[in-house]
Copies of this chain bind each other. A is one copy, B any other.
């Protein structure tokens, strides 16, 4: 590999070298940030994801990462610019596997497939379509390839063979006569190159992100994006979204329900019905369904609730901002709504000024729905603006689709930032360079196994993913889904079409009619216990996010990131790590057991303290009222006494567990929980040390408050 000795100025974009890239255009290379080389050729589009969304790279943290070599010469990456657009060719070694492409459901290792990471609300047949697509893959060889384009891009991940690579051309299928289409169309081609197709582009930038290892690439990518996000502390609690047609009184009913039954809840989410018009949106409170909404918001706030409002970006004819938005909107309507051109400061201002009013009334965040696209999965579903749409900024619909969700989230997130408040929003579309934004993806697609895999896949690209739970086909299905949700970045029940909490009745029709399960009381106690468990993990999770913020390591991630040498983990996408000491292995069948693979070392069952040897699979049983959690030997796990909600005064009383060790320590992050003051040093690092049967607490840092007390430690063999 060619080494780059000088770290180029980030914004100057000076060329460090120029080499021929094998195609028509001269390829320039530059070290964009430590360990990130930018190759560019041709005339670059003005609206690249990095130009539009890129934040401030955390270059110091990047410099602290070990240097890594590419497994090939960087000159072997070929870029061609021609009449079709740009094509990029990247070497691929035998046995190499590729991960990423954003929040993908269908595959984990993508080698042998064609991936088209294009924004869409339906992950159609594993084509690469996703709410959060990324033209970015991470190789098992410890490097990443990111195509910095908002154009629809196709990756042939070793799925096709070029004639010049015709090593196997003398082989062939001479004997076998297939008698089934599935036999015929098995992909029998192989290839030792990745081919990337960017039609219509007159030039392209390729970011080559070095490791070492997969985890190093992911950290570098997140740090390049400005680091991971740090949600408000309350954002890690429990969120419940009420039914779409809820009224003030039904919201009050839910608010009382949680407190009366001592089920923790930090956030209530309101769905479309809060507005006078939806699909498209007026953003105006409905006096009919929510008379005196300000009083309601005050009352809920006093009970410890944060309120989140559903909306989408399409501005209804009756909206107060309709007229002002007209000059800054795209030329196509969505549900008769204007589509703001969020690339324009004017559109952000009009949208933001109005939303500031909602926030000032006490709204803690928004659920930003349908900022993805539905044009490409079904011929009859065409609710979004088309690819040929034009926006006043000059971008077309295609490229706007790839950026729209991110621009929308940033517009709203920036309002909170200006108020020095951290939000934790729900959104349905994301893409590149969004790790620093405090928002979690969701989706209506409802396959539990795919949810778990999406959680793993999201980790490669700085995305946070919240699986959903609403209705279920059985108690097992319900509780298994709830387990996964509670072990995700956001513990949310998105019950937007259920009248009552789903643990009382998980059949949708019966729920609507108020016909509760015979086991409703028992199941409610399970739900309480499970949500309590989530609340017990809050301090642990908060620190994992601090590591994400500062080092770029995803708080939720597939096992291969921590154990790159373990070949068995290369395809494992139904288990994941949480922070440094925990592993989740959700059940997703109807039974009460599953096979769980343990990587090297020794592991403990969080529920039973049973001990498992690494490098093996075990059949594990998990009850409905237990979380499918396992603890790494040597971990000091701080568990908080559950609180009903988090507020400024909350102090967590911690009881620790030390697993398989007499001496262990862990760290916690302590701050006000809600502002960005920690960026100015107003935070503490709290260290807990267990030793000789005792546990001690130390803190260093510039935050005056106290969030943690330690009450004791249990030592588990």
**Residues of A near any B CB (own CB < 8 A):** 84-85, 87, 106-107, 112-116, 124-128, 154, 156, 159-164, 166, 168-174, 177-181, 184-185, 187-189, 195, 197, 199-200, 243-245, 271-273, 276-280, 282, 316-318, 326, 329-336, 338, 374-383, 385-388, 396, 398, 444, 496-497
Contact = CB atoms under 8 A, between A and B. Distances in A.
Contacts of A107: 379-380
Contact of A125 (B124, B170, B280): B124
Contacts of A338: 163
Given A85-B200, A156-B386, 8 more contacts: A114-B382, A156-B388, A160-B385, A162-B332, A169-B336, A177-B278, A187-B383, A189-B333
B179 A387 contact: no
Nearest to A378: B125
Contacts of A179: 243-245, 496-497
Nearest to A288: B175
A195 B85 CA distance: 23
Contacts of A162: 331-333
Top-6 shortest CB links A-B: A126-B379, A159-B382, A177-B245, A197-B388, A174-B277, A179-B497
Nearest to A381: B185
Contact of A333 (B166, B244, B380): B166
Contacts of A383: 185, 187-189
A387 B197 contact: yes
9 contacts: A160-B382, A160-B386, A162-B332, A162-B333, A163-B330, A163-B331, A173-B277, A177-B271, A187-B381
Nearest to A115: B379
B154 A387 contact: yes
A493 to B, nearest CB: 16
A77 to B, nearest CB: 16
A179 B245 CA distance: 8
A317 B172 contact: yes
A182 to B, nearest CB: 10
Contact of A336 (B125, B171, B374, B376): B171
Nearest to A280: B172
Contact of A382 (B113, B243, B331): B113
Contacts of A330: 163
Contact of A106 (B160, B197, B279, B379): B379
B87 A177 contact: no
Nearest to A45: B83
A171 B317 contact: yes
Nearest to A190: B336
Nearest to A279: B173
Contacts of A280: 172
A114 B160 CA distance: 30
A316 B172 contact: yes
Contacts of A382: 113-114, 156, 159-160, 187, 189
Given A162-B331, A164-B331, A172-B317, A197 B386 contact: yes
Given A114-B379, A169-B336, A278-B173, A374 B185 contact: yes
Contact of A112 (B177, B199, B377, B380): B380
Contacts of A154: 386-388
Count chain B CB atoms within 10 A of each CB in A156, A276, A380 and give the residue with the most: A380
A159 B377 CA distance: 15
Count chain B CB atoms within 10 A of each CB in A200, A279, A375 and give the residue with the most: A279
A587 to B, nearest CB: 26
Contacts of A243: 179
A178 B279 contact: yes
A388 B163 contact: no
A398 B160 contact: no
Contacts of A172: 277, 280, 316-318, 335-336
Contacts of A200: 84-85, 199-200
A34 to B, nearest CB: 33
B381 A84 contact: no
B195 A386 contact: yes
A179 B512 CA distance: 11
A126 B160 contact: no
A84 B388 contact: yes
Contacts of A195: 386, 388
Contacts of A329: 163
Contacts of A169: 317, 333, 336
Contact of A199 (B271, B387, B444): B387
Given A125-B379, A126-B378, A382-B187, A173 B335 contact: yes
Contacts of A496: 179
Given A382-B156, A497-B180, A376 B127 contact: yes
A383 B187 CA distance: 6
A497 B338 CA distance: 54
